[in-house]
Structure 1
Amino acid sequence: MKVTLPDFRRAGVLVVGDVMLDRYWYGPTSRISPEAPVPVVKVDTIEERPGGAANVAMNIASLGATSRLVGLTGIDDAARALSAKTE
């Protein structure tokens, strides 16, 4: 099945919402924690991606539209990382 998408290059979209930084930790597990029934992970890789409304704005931009994002963040490392990934 062929799907034809409209030309988004002339569209402008304002995205308003909760913005967050999604963090994914990857690594092997070798045991279960004695304090709680959760695996203990030796973190090898950390991946950070825009989440929430920031993810929506980036997806809109990937379709060729102009997107503007309005949201609040703190003043911390996560906010700086999110800002760098959404510029």
Structure 2
Amino acid sequence: MATQTTPERTPTVTRSSSPRVAHGTPQPRSRTVPAQESGPQRARREAEDEFRSLLSGHIRDMRRRGVSEDVLGPFERELLRLGPAPA
């Protein structure tokens, strides 16, 4: 008799923009946005956040491809100039 095996299932992983604690309760982001932030200020902050995200992804990709530190230096300095990424 042939033994039939069921395929092993891997757990589904979902990603959330909110960090979670051990018991699974969503936690708010730690970045605070001023209550009176004007439209242009909000647009600039959002653009900087997007640029920071794209730049860090680009640096990660270049590292994976083996690009030298001499080439990565200016990109990393620009990322440092922008400050820490929003949590």
TM-score above 0.5: no
Higher strand residue share: 1
Higher helix residue share: 2
Query: What's the TM-score once normalised by structure 2's chain length?
Result: 0.20
Q: Which one has more relative contact order, counting CA pairs under 8 Å at least 6 apart?
A: 1
Query: What's the TM-score once normalised by structure 1's chain length?
Result: 0.20
